[in-house]
Chains A and B, each alone.
Chain A
């Protein structure tokens, strides 16, 4: 088994309520390894985004622990942030910066500088075919172009762990396909990718292992074959319904 890059143990997030507290994530435990794409599958509001935000240190867990590359999200947050690239489908760009400035800015913020920064920025922009519009302000880019710049921004510091929260939402077929291709190639480089989605076909195509999350709880976790075997269902959609709502196909 390859190196564990993400580990959560009874990770829980509660939001205080006027009368009673709301449990957004309820004792979620899983592991992701290097060279693996782990898909977190769930309906809207299931707790996927909250889980990923806790892993990225944007939110603080109420209880439980989570580690990225051995760093605790609560106690070593700066080390965790150094180790991850985080992207969601709704993340925006700075409109008045050019694509190159945008990527360079985040490279600098992650400690790159000088020729290393320039070379790395050229490399990632070229990889995503964004070098053609590298000097165009982000406000003038199409949705697909913006997403490519965003991914370039996410990986400019070459993080060992990539956390993607529904990265294809709102994208057209080609842009979504390019994103999926990138995730596969990043996995092939030996990186760990945690990927949340509610699109079954994407999960089926991309994920080495899948966690099904529903109402804040991780209902199942394993390879697609494992889940098929447990449920006796072939299609992932049916597998998901089995675990999430207990409905037979």
Chain B
């Protein structure tokens, strides 16, 4: 560690150690949270239960079934009152004068055993006492029923015993620690997250936003070091702080269980040391991510007060994925393992339930560190931003500068993704395949909107690469489309099925909508329409504008990412992204959108027609065999050769 970094860290630590908010939120809160909350709740529950058990509730019983009336009169904890007029019994329940009215005056059941009375229990369930009285009345009635059943059984079987027919009992095979883990897993991650976040907010919000407010940040930027080092030092201090808060919180939970302040169904119990160890390991990346997010808030805000405004909404946003882990029905699969916050929440839950998997733990930790890195990049970028020094953003959000145009483009593309999701779903649910076609043909409208909003001059035809290509480019598109069928369908799909299988109901929904359609209709909706409409948006407006704002590689990757996102299906992210890259390269090399349109139609159409053909016919050769792969690879090689040759034919070709 460089002496400069050490100095920065020492100063930050020294300042934090003198901040009472850090002491309160970062140390005392996590230590006291569980004992105070769980112990307090446990104490209150026990007290409430014992008080309720000792209480007698006034009830009224009407009707002429003497055995019912006698049973209620003899019941403990219920006192039958006689002085309430019959026409005001309901009002008496509502007002709380009595807690329950057992109405047995409704007559007798008509069918079967005609000697059974109709019973109605009137309670006010919004009142605890009334609910408790109803429960006790149920117990009384159960006893009456059982006694009656035993009497009848004895009569019919001439002295037989009902219990001798069928007895049952239950055995819970969960260990004590698993029972404790099952109980804790429902709420633990939620509280752990709150505790780390609150502690971290005490560490982090002041670190950059506070410095901006006190105008010390500019001075700090004038030391002979890179601003990244300042960010790194702050991140180290915040991360250590949030990790400490998380570990304290975890230790507090373990102690709370160990001391028996939390009762499980099996009595006092403790979470297993193995589960605690795994959770302690998971706390580290989680604390790193939360610390970095808080630092990002601090870097984004212009003052401490502004940062504090953001803290609560961000906390709520982070709790949403964590809350998912409260349900044991949702599993930690490969997809969930890369969703930030949710992945750690699920892994902690599984650790407590004794279901952990080392491979998934590694994925969870690695992906959390990846997200941390992304957020840290934002922090570093914010510190480099001139607005941090100036105290205001010198540039309007959608300025005519490259960064302003970039913001306009990304915002409009994200809006398009959302609009396509909502409008597309609405149209498809109302009109089926016709709705799908309409939603696709809205994309060119969005494309023109995006280009008008985010462009900085220039003709639309130039942005959209609306020009005829060199003849060889048509051949490249054809070869590339044909060559990609097998790798995409034969190699990528099985690979994806192994790591991210599409749910069967997802397949079924698509089949239900498309399966019964005529081939020509399907071709026009899944090949021709996307081949034209999607190309106008993604390779036309999006790629065309991105090429004017930054590097070619970045433009290809970002436009492909939007192309993958608009399919709004995590199970198709990888194939659509790869397809987007191939299409973008075609347009960049040929400078013509028509080539991409040809590719897209042939690619989608080929998969569709191939699939339809295979439903009723055998292929003349093995579609996964050596011959098929050889032809595929030859087509791909041919496409690459033609694309390379385009550079000579078109001297101003972009190099990628």
Q: Is A228's beta carbon under 8 Å from chain B?
A: no
Q: Is A84's beta carbon under 8 Å from chain B?
A: yes
Most buried by B among A82, A96, A97, A110: A96
Contact of A78 among B218, B225, B390, B403 (CB under 8 A): B225
Q: Is A101's beta carbon under 8 Å from chain B?
A: yes
Q: Is A81's beta carbon under 8 Å from chain B?
A: yes
Q: Is B113's beta carbon under 8 Å from chain A?
A: no
Min CB distance A189 to B, Å, is 21
Chain B residue, CB-CB nearest to A80: B224
Among the listed stretches B347-355, B394-402, B510-518, B525-533, which one makes contact with chain A, having 4 or more residues with CB under 8 Å of it?
B394-402
Min CB distance B400 to A, Å, is 7
In the complex, A244 Cα to B394 Cα: how many Å? 25
Q: Is B215's beta carbon under 8 Å from chain A?
A: yes
In the complex, A113 Cα to B4 Cα: how many Å? 11
In contact, A81 and B222 (Cβ under 8 angstroms):
yes
In contact, B11 and A97 (Cβ under 8 angstroms):
yes
Q: Is B168's beta carbon under 8 Å from chain A?
A: no
In the complex, A203 Cα to B406 Cα: how many Å? 45
Given known contacts A18-B399, A60-B386, A106 and B215 CB-to-CB distance under 8 angstroms? no
In contact, B223 and A81 (Cβ under 8 angstroms):
yes
In the complex, A96 Cα to B206 Cα: how many Å? 12
Given known contacts A59-B389, A90-B215, A97-B15, A16 and B223 CB-to-CB distance under 8 angstroms? no
Min CB distance A203 to B, Å, is 24
Among the listed stretches A40-48, A50-58, A176-184, which one makes contact with chain B, having 4 or more residues with CB under 8 Å of it?
A50-58
In contact, A17 and B399 (Cβ under 8 angstroms):
yes
Q: Is B421's beta carbon under 8 Å from chain A?
A: no
Residues on the B chain within 8 Å of A91, using CB: 215-216, 218-219
Min CB distance A56 to B, Å, is 6
Q: Is B381's beta carbon under 8 Å from chain A?
A: no
In contact, B11 and A58 (Cβ under 8 angstroms):
no
Given known contacts A86-B219, A96-B15, A96-B18, A78 and B396 CB-to-CB distance under 8 angstroms? no
In the complex, A13 Cα to B19 Cα: how many Å? 40
Among B368-427, those with CB < 8 Å from A are 386, 389-390, 394-396, 398-401, 403-404
In the complex, A233 Cα to B609 Cα: how many Å? 91
Interface string of B1-39 (1 = CB under 8 A from A): 001100110010011001100000000000000000000
Chain A residue, CB-CB nearest to B402: A16
Q: Is A108's beta carbon under 8 Å from chain B?
A: yes
Given known contacts A58-B222, A81-B224, A101-B14, A94 and B216 CB-to-CB distance under 8 angstroms? yes
Chain A residue, CB-CB nearest to B7: A108
Chain A residue, CB-CB nearest to B396: A18
Residues on the B chain within 8 Å of A92, using CB: 214-216
Residues on the B chain within 8 Å of A106, using CB: 219, 223
Chain B residue, CB-CB nearest to A137: B18
Q: Is B221's beta carbon under 8 Å from chain A?
A: yes
Residues on the B chain within 8 Å of A96, using CB: 14-15, 18-19
Contact of B395 among A15, A53, A93, A105 (CB under 8 A): A15
Q: Is A174's beta carbon under 8 Å from chain B?
A: no
**Interface bracket on B:** 20 to 34
Residues on the B chain within 8 Å of A105, using CB: 7, 11
In contact, A84 and B399 (Cβ under 8 angstroms):
no
Residues on the A chain within 8 Å of B225, using CB: 78, 109
In the complex, A91 Cα to B218 Cα: how many Å? 8
Among B223-240, those with CB < 8 Å from A are 223-226
Q: Is A140's beta carbon under 8 Å from chain B?
A: no
Min CB distance A241 to B, Å, is 29
Chain B residue, CB-CB nearest to A113: B3
Min CB distance A44 to B, Å, is 15
In the complex, A109 Cα to B233 Cα: how many Å? 13
Contact of A110 among B15, B223, B398 (CB under 8 A): B223
Min CB distance B329 to A, Å, is 49
Q: Is A19's beta carbon under 8 Å from chain B?
A: yes
Q: Is A118's beta carbon under 8 Å from chain B?
A: no
In contact, B400 and A16 (Cβ under 8 angstroms):
yes
Residues on the B chain within 8 Å of A90, using CB: 215
Min CB distance B563 to A, Å, is 29
Min CB distance A79 to B, Å, is 8
Min CB distance A66 to B, Å, is 15
In contact, A18 and B398 (Cβ under 8 angstroms):
yes
Chain A residue, CB-CB nearest to B230: A109
Chain A residue, CB-CB nearest to B6: A108
In contact, B399 and A16 (Cβ under 8 angstroms):
yes
Among A102-121, those with CB < 8 Å from B are 105-106, 108-111, 113
In the complex, A198 Cα to B617 Cα: how many Å? 89
Q: Is A95's beta carbon under 8 Å from chain B?
A: yes
Residues on the A chain within 8 Å of B221, using CB: 58
In the complex, A177 Cα to B161 Cα: how many Å? 108
In the complex, A113 Cα to B10 Cα: how many Å? 14
Chain A residue, CB-CB nearest to B212: A92
Among A57-84, those with CB < 8 Å from B are 57-60, 78-79, 81-82, 84
In the complex, A217 Cα to B170 Cα: how many Å? 89
Min CB distance B22 to A, Å, is 11
Interface string of A236-247 (1 = CB under 8 A from B): 000000000000
Chain A residue, CB-CB nearest to B215: A92
Contact of A15 among B218, B223, B394 (CB under 8 A): B394
Most buried by B among A93, A95, A97, A109: A109
Residues on the B chain within 8 Å of A56, using CB: 222
Chain A residue, CB-CB nearest to B226: A78
In the complex, A110 Cα to B220 Cα: how many Å? 11
Contact of B404 among A16, A78, A84 (CB under 8 A): A16
Chain A residue, CB-CB nearest to B393: A15
In the complex, A81 Cα to B226 Cα: how many Å? 11
In contact, A95 and B214 (Cβ under 8 angstroms):
yes
23 contacts between A and B (CB under 8 A): A16-B400, A16-B404, A17-B399, A17-B400, A18-B396, A19-B400, A53-B389, A58-B221, A59-B389, A59-B390, A78-B226, A79-B224, A81-B222, A84-B222, A86-B222, A88-B215, A92-B214, A92-B215, A93-B214, A95-B214, A96-B14, A96-B19, A108-B3
10 other contacts beyond A92-B214, A101-B14, with CB at 8 A cut-off? A16-B401, A18-B399, A53-B218, A78-B225, A91-B216, A101-B11, A106-B223, A109-B8, A109-B224, A111-B224
Chain B residues proximal to chain A, CB less than 8 Å? 3-4, 7-8, 11, 14-15, 18-19, 214-216, 218-219, 221-226, 386, 389-390, 394-396, 398-401, 403-404
